[in-house]
Structure 1
Amino acid sequence: MSNPCLSGGAIEIFLQPRIPAPRVLVVGTTPVAQALVSLGSGVGMAVELTDGESAAPRVDDAALIVASHGKAEEAALESALRAGVPYVALVASGTRGAAVLESLDVDPVQRSRVFTPAGLQLGARTPGEIALSILAQLIQERSTSRRPATAAPATAAEVQPTAIDPVCGMSVAAADSSIHLEHNGVTVYFCSPGCRAAFRKDPEHYDLTP
């Protein structure tokens, strides 16, 4: 493909990675569990139904959500916590949820990681609304865990000075490692050997005004 740029034919390629959908294990076959399956795929989750005895959470799972109405809850929750699953939730009332947490054979730090009642407090009432509130909380937690720590502002000494390539107009680092030459007492920086060669051929054609 023809590229008329004087910079020597440099090209930028943008890649869009295709990452496998994060797996979400849902324990139970209740209406809330079914709603999680229906809504989960719409937000890019790979939701799998399982039962408490068969649940086999992995460290790379996005979540384990127990919505089994009291059936084999403890075993599934303990397995997820020990596997290091980042989001573990129990669909239950506040009172019953607290009782289930107290019965778990894990340390207090792990026990405190369980979200119960599961989901954001949106006033949800129907199974679909409850499932939506849980997925919203899961997305919120995943976003928080991916957010980088705020870096300290760069000092004046850390800021890399830049210059404009007079040939192609590209911004380049004004450093000794960049391609450059001296012209009438001024250091001129370039993005590539091609732009430097074009400048050398006819330097008066290019504007060096800052």
Structure 2
Amino acid sequence: MSERQQPWVAEPEQRGRILVLTDNPIARSIAVIASTVGRPVLVESADDGGPGLDPQEGDAVVLCDHDAPDAPSVLRSALASDAVYVAMMASRRRAEGLVEELVGEGYDVSRLHVPAGHDLGGRAPGEIALSVVAEIVAESYGRPGGPMSG
């Protein structure tokens, strides 16, 4: 008799950290969900980006508070780094001016996800966090996300 094949791997490939700016309910939910899928998470509670946000190759950076005083400079730092995913919680309209400014300064915004996450329709912190972590996982595997059927 042959062994049953499982649709999962016991030892997932190690991925970069998920770095989150500003401790709020969405950030805490990202930490819980991301740790469940085996991603190390650093939530920086200091609005100025603090000492902890130093994106390395393979990291994902998520700004959960576009109104944080240092959000623009943290975003610039993330886009200049080797982070594989950079996202900001903001509507397209609200982020439009900042994105135009970044482009004008010569930043490559092709990795910038605004608004962060997949369009799942959820509005609660955990639902928003789920959409963000799903997008990070999909990006890390080079997938667009979306239904597997169809």
For Structure 1 versus Structure 2, the TM-score category normalised by the shorter chain is: 0.7 to 0.9
Match of 1:135 in 2: 133
Matched, 1:25 2:39: no
Give, in whole Å, the separation in 2 of the partners of 1:45 and 1:60: 11
Q: Summarize the Cα distance change of 1:82–1:69 in structure 2 as closer, same or farther, 3 Å threshold.
A: closer
Cα distance in 2, alignment partners of residues 115 and 135 from structure 1: 12
**For residues 90 and 18 of structure 1, do their structure 2 counterparts lie closer, same or farther at Cα, with a shift above 3 Å needed?**
closer
Question: What per-residue deviation string (whole Å, max 9, x for no partner) do you get for residues 42-63 of structure 1?
Answer: 01110101144322111242x0
Tell me the secondary structure at the aligned position of residue 93 of structure 2: helix
Structure with the greater alpha carbon radius of gyration: 1
Deviation at 1:103, TM superposition (A): 3.1
Q: Which runs of 4+ in 1 moved over 4 A?
A: 16-21
Answer yes or no: is the 8 Å Cα contact 2:27–2:129 preserved in 1: yes
SS in 1 for 2:120: coil
Asked if 1:65 is matched to 2:59, the reply is no
Paired residue for 1:74?
72
Structure 2: 5+ residue stretches without partners: 1-9, 144-150
Deviation at 1:140, TM superposition (A): 0.8
Report the counterpart of residue 38 of structure 2 in structure 1: 44
8 Å contact 1:57–1:83 — kept in the other structure? yes
Q: Structure 2 CA distance, aligned partners of 1:87 and 1:113?
A: 6
TM-score by length of 2: 0.76
What does residue range 101-112 of structure 1 map to in structure 2 within 5 Å?
Answer: 101-104=99-102, 106-107=105-106, 110-112=108-110
Q: TM-score, normalised by structure 1?
A: 0.55
Aligned residues of 2:17 and 2:41 also touching (Cα < 8 A): yes
Q: Is the 8 A contact 1:74 1:100 kept in 2?
A: yes
Stretches of structure 1 lacking an aligned partner (at least 5 in a row): 1-15, 146-210
Higher strand share: 1
Q: Percent of aligned positions with the same letter in both sequences?
A: 33
For the aligned residue pairs, the C-alpha RMSD in angstroms reads 2.1
Q: Which has the higher contact order (CA 8 A, sep 6+)?
A: 2
Equivalent pairs counted in the alignment come to 128
Shift of 1:68: 1.9
Counterpart of 2:91 in structure 1 is 93
In the other structure, the counterpart of 1:53 is 49
C-alpha contact (below 8 Å) 2:15/2:58 kept by paired residues: no
Q: CA deviation at 1:19?
A: 5.4
